[in-house]
Amino acid sequence: MDKEPHAMISIHSDYAKSIVRGVKTVELRRRFMALPNGSRLWIYSTLPVGALVATAVVAGIDCDKPENLWNRYQSEAAVSKQAFFDYFLGCKRGAAIRLTDVEEICPVPLSRIRSIRGVNHIPQVATRLSSLEARRFEEIGCGL
């Protein structure tokens, strides 16, 4: 666990649920940080859930024009064509984060995330986590 990079990503609760169910295997972003394949993403489900609910492994990050991303990932993104292009409106390049090895965890509530990270907010895009933070989330989240 300590050798792999970790990051926390904030995902709308409906989409987080689809990821956990295995329906959505690609997360779309207008911008995203560079992470190597094999990085572990800690998935924060936005309100009304407001908790870390799962982890996933980054299989790859594909950055390209939205049209090309749609052509490649429309079946894995679990979003309508209209919603996809509305989201990427005005964006010249976007990112498709391919997810594998999704593991649901016991929810780690926002209050615990705040106490571990020492911050009051969850980043809207993503943030890197230290190995210590990831280990503490793992301990709280029923272990992986």
Does the structure show a pLDDT above 90 at 120? no
For the entire predicted model, the pTM comes to 0.90
Give the whole-angstrom CA distance, residue 133 versus residue 140: 11
Average pLDDT of the chain to the nearest whole number: 92
DSSP assignment of the chain equals -TTS-EEEEEE-HHHHHHHHHTS--EEEESS-----TTPEEEEEETTTT-EEEEEEEEEEEEEE-HHHHHHHHTTTTTS-HHHHHHHTTT-S-EEEEEEEEEEEEEEEEHHHHHHHHT-S---SSEEEE-HHHHHHHHHHTT--
Give the whole-angstrom CA distance, residue 135 versus residue 32: 23
**pLDDT classification of 1: cutoffs 50, 70, 90:** very low
End-to-end CA distance of the chain: 10
Give the whole-angstrom CA distance, residue 67 versus residue 59: 21
pLDDT tens string 91-119: 999 999 999 999 999 999 999 999 898 87
pLDDT tens string 14-30: 999 999 999 999 999 99
Sign of CA dihedral 68, 73, 77, 83: positive
